[in-house]
Structure 1
Amino acid sequence: MPRTRHQNESLGRLLYETGWDHGQFTRAINAAGTRAGLSLHYENSSVSHWLNDGTVPRRRTQELILDVLSTRLRRPVTVAEAGFGEPQLDGEATDLVTGLMDLARADMDPSRRSVLGAGLYSAAMVSVPGWQDAVGRIDMIKTNPHTRIGQREVQSVIAMTEMVSSIDDQQGGRFARPMAANFLVNAIGPYLKADATDEVRKAMLSAAADHCYLTGYMAMDERLDGLANRYYVKALELARLAGDELTFCTTLRGMSVMHGDLGDGSTAIRLAQSASAASPQAGPRMRAFLAGQEAHAAAITGDRSLALLRIKQAEAAMEKAESQAKALGSYDPSSLHYHVSQVRYELGDMSGAIESMQQSHQIREPVFRRTRVRYGAMLAERKFKAGRLDEACMDWHRVLDEYQLVQSGRVDDRIHEMQTLIMPHIRNLLARELHDRARSMTA
């Protein structure tokens, strides 16, 4: 093990904050190692060495320590905060970048594994400011990894992520995710390996974390939940290295959404609560964003009191947020009405669930086509279950009007569910027309 000259007071402060003794700390590290496929046998004396005589843990152990501390303290703990030095592109960060690029390469469409500027990018990237210059910079970095990057490269990653997110909103994750994965391999990877000041490196890690989160979200949209989880874990690691609480808690919330969709309420609520705890300084819109998901997760588990408490907190936070500046794409009243609908549905209030989903539908910004189609199908399903077959069929027809413009596994699921639900009612003229139309689109 490498050694330093000084005691690690930073790690000592974090350990004190956890409330653990040395034995509890090492047991948590050993357990984390077991989950990662490692056989570790750290004892109390190991912690004493780390704290008192300047011993620095191996890079893999550092990663486990940071994960354990982040989980216990419910916030991202960085390499520097734990007294292990600033993140460098060796050891932990190198392993992370390599793992991220391996993941993205495996996710890329094999026919699209080409340099930037070719097929996949030629039309889309022209809308990103300064993209042609960025292509030249990336090629330079690939040739000379010691090329220094700056805020210009960080901004190019942010702009690309925003563009891919816009495409995802309109057309779904199946279309946009290959582009995001390609960008991870061909641009973000080289940027993370390039020389940079500490400020720029942290900004790039943060931008990469946000892009990785989006890629995971698109994988979830395609119902590739295992792949989504791997992207989410990478996003958490990048956010932790960057000290980016916003992306860290947003990713935890995204993982909660995924588990909620899978019906795993206990994991969904645990992740939602961790997300809320990881962002103590969040503004009102972010608090609403987190509380809305926690309310939904609580309702899935049947915890009525907690679900209603959190949805009231989300409503109060949203009221405060709406009195301030608004940003397109952020959590808004339409999203809150969706969460109210989900809570009411899980708690057995079908009429209230339909009313809230209709309110969400009426005020949603028109740019969010994928959400409009998916939630429109959910609204039709609830009307159907409430015995309102004719209304449900009309809503489903509106969904089909845009269905072929959206490439989304979760939307496909809703169309298949529609076909299953209406089959027993095929003698009804509206149901038969709907069934025949859907079948012609999905054959």
Structure 2
Amino acid sequence: MERREFVGASIFSVALNIPDWPDVMGRMEAVRTGSARRVGISDVELVKRMTAQLSDTYDEFGGRHTRPLAATFIAQTVTPLLLTDGAVETRKAMMSAAASLCFLTGWMAVDEGMHGIAQRYYVKGLELTGGSGDRLTYCRVLRGVSVQAVDLGHGAMAVRLADAAAATAPESGPRMRAFMGGQQAHSLAVAGDRSAALRSLREAERAMDQAESTSQNLGNYDPAVLAYHVSQVRYALDDVAGSVDSLKLHFRLRTPTDTRRSALRFSSILAERQLELGHVELACNTWAHVLDEYPKIHSGRVDRHVAAIAQLLSPYRANPTAREVRERALQATRGQV
């Protein structure tokens, strides 16, 4: 996929053909064999461990450099392993591990604004879950496409994808319900269905209250992330002040292990909404923190937020604080394409 020309790479297709779970089950064609070696469980562990390390690197530093590493690993290591013969259960495990890596790579492509490429990785991940029977990863990838759609303003499509992910979830524990419900609520709010969005949000909040453990890996979904979803729902429903309050709660609930990349992205959103409320000094203080940390991150999303600071503060150049932050932002983004 990475060898294809980047024409249309940033275009999100609302006509994307998402395979349903019954369709992907058993859909994988018989792969060609003939390699001199057989895929083993150690190969599966290699892919899992590399995916975990790439995810950690992305969370800490952003995706601009991490995504090309992931794409190269898929092309040069994972694809040959998928085309190698082996025991049935081992091959299924390899497909599951590859699906998770495709999902991560697609997520990083979204960060760079390469939405068309991201969709290709997502669809490939969905197809691989069919070959492995990995229903949980299928559900997570489908939800990931919904996140991409709602962030781009495609509310109706985001709702369909979020609902399909929830319906496909392999279990219905409280954390899973919160994980799905928060995304459904955000999608419904962007789609303009206020009552359904608030109802889904209340269900997600109740489910999070019932969650007994954070040990299950559901994309690190916890009360802090749910607070971010509450903020997004409130903002989509024109409650800017409420969205700011929920973002502040998100930061109070964050743990020391939460990532620098997401902190800068959410801080940028907070500053933009503080300014929207007319709180210029508060917004500038938030942006100042973002600019302090910005050189450590290589994230397309954060780049776009920082690039917007100068224009957003342009009407406030008479304010010394705003003028200083605006100049810092201009210097930080100087030379960017």
TM-score normalised per structure 1: 0.69
Out of 22, 31, 42, the residue aligned to residue 89 of structure 1 is 31
Structure 1 residues 418 and 206: CA distance shift in structure 2, 3 A? same
Structure 1 contact 76–243 (Cα < 8 Å) conserved: no
Q: What are the Cα deviations for residues 87-128 of structure 1, in whole angstroms up to 9, with x where unaligned?
A: 5314xxx9xxxxxxxxxxxxxxxxxxxxxxxxxxxxxxxxxx
CA deviations on 1:293-325 (whole Å, 9 max, x unpaired) are 11001000111111111111111221222x224
Name 2:315's counterpart in structure 1.
Answer: 424
- Per chain length, whose mean CA-contact separation is higher, i.e. which structure has more relative contact order (CA < 8 Å, sep 6+)? 2
Q: Does 2:60 correspond to 1:170?
A: yes
1:364 aligns with 2:254: yes
Please tell me whether residue 297 in structure 1 is matched to residue 244 in structure 2.
Answer: no
Report the residue type matching 1:88 in the other structure. Answer: A
- Give matches, 1:12-27, under 5 Å: none
Structure 1 residue 382 and structure 2 residue 273: aligned?
Answer: yes
Point out the more displaced range, 409-418 or 323-332.
323-332
**Cα deviations by residue, 1:324-347 (Å, 9 ceiling, x for unpaired):** 243686111110000000001111
Aligned partner letter, 1:361: F
Calculate the TM-score normalised by the size of structure 2. Answer: 0.89
Superposed, 1:215-254 pairs within 5 Å as 215-254=105-144
After superposition, the Cα gap between the structure-2 partners of 1:293 and 1:325, relative to the gap in structure 1 and judged at 3 Å, is closer
Q: Write out aligned runs for 1:428-439 (5 A).
A: 428-439=319-330
**What CA distance in whole angstroms lies between the structure 2 residues aligned with 1:146 and 1:433?**
63
Counterparts of 1:317 and 1:170 in 2: how far apart (Å)? 29
> Which entry has the higher C-alpha Rg, 1 or 2?
1
Q: Structure 1 residue 206 and structure 2 residue 96: aligned?
A: yes
Q: 1:305 to 1:75 in 2, by over 3 A?
A: farther
Q: CA deviation at 1:432?
A: 0.2
AA paired with 2:30? Q
Indicate whether 1:400 and 2:291 are aligned: yes
Rate the CA distance shift 1:236–1:77 in 2: closer, same or farther, 3 A.
closer
Corresponding residue of 1:324: 213
1:78 pairs with 2:25: yes
Q: CA deviation at 1:431?
A: 0.5
Indicate the SS of the match to 1:173. coil
For the 8 Å contact 1:78–1:241, the answer to whether it is kept is yes
TM-superposed deviation, 1:75: 5.2
Runs (4+) of structure 1 moved beyond 3 Å? 74-77, 325-329
Deviations 1:264-304 (A, max 9, x none): 11111111111111115243222211111110010001111
Contact 1:334–1:363 at 8 Å: present in 2 too? yes
1:148 aligns to what SS in structure 2? coil
CA contact (8 A) 1:75 1:277 kept: no
Per-residue CA shift, 1:137-171, capped at 9, x if unaligned? Answer: xxxxxxx7141122111111111000000001011
Deviation at 1:244, TM superposition (A): 1.0
Q: Identity over the aligned pairs, expressed in percent?
A: 44
- In 1: Cα distance, 2:148 partner to 2:81 partner: 30
Q: Distance in 1 between matches of 2:252 and 2:29?
A: 47
Question: Following TM superposition, by how much is the alpha carbon of 1:221 offset from its aligned partner in structure 2, in angstroms?
Answer: 0.3
SS of 1:88 mapped into structure 2: coil
- Cα 1:340–1:236, aligned 2, differ >3 Å: closer, same or farther? same
Distance 1:434 1:341 in 2: 25
Which ranges of structure 2 fall in alignment gaps of 5 or more residues? 1-14
Give the Cα–Cα distance (whole angstroms) in 2 for the partners of residues 282 and 408 of structure 1: 34
Is the Cα contact below 8 Å between 1:292 and 1:310 reproduced in 2?
yes
Q: Give the CA deviation at 1:365.
A: 2.9
- Work out the CA distance in 2 between the residues paired with 1:257 and 1:402: 26
Residues 350-407 of structure 1: per-residue CA shift (max 9 Å, x gap): 1211111011112223440110000000001111111111001000001111111111
Residue identity opposite 2:26 in structure 1? V
Q: RMSD value over aligned CA atoms? A: 2.0
Three-state SS of the structure 2 residue aligned to 1:432 is helix
Check 1:190–1:77 CA distance in 2 against 1; reply closer, same or farther (3 A cut).
closer
- Secondary structure at 1:354 match in 2: helix
Please say if 1:196 is aligned against 2:86: yes
Report how many residues are paired: 318
Alignment of 1:174-189 (within 5 A): 174-189=64-79
- Residue 214 of structure 1: CA displacement? 0.3
Q: Distance in 1 between matches of 2:202 and 2:36?
A: 52
Partner residue in 2 for 1:29: none
* Cα 1:75–1:298 shift into 2, 3 Å: farther
Q: Is the 8 A contact 1:75 1:278 kept in 2?
A: no
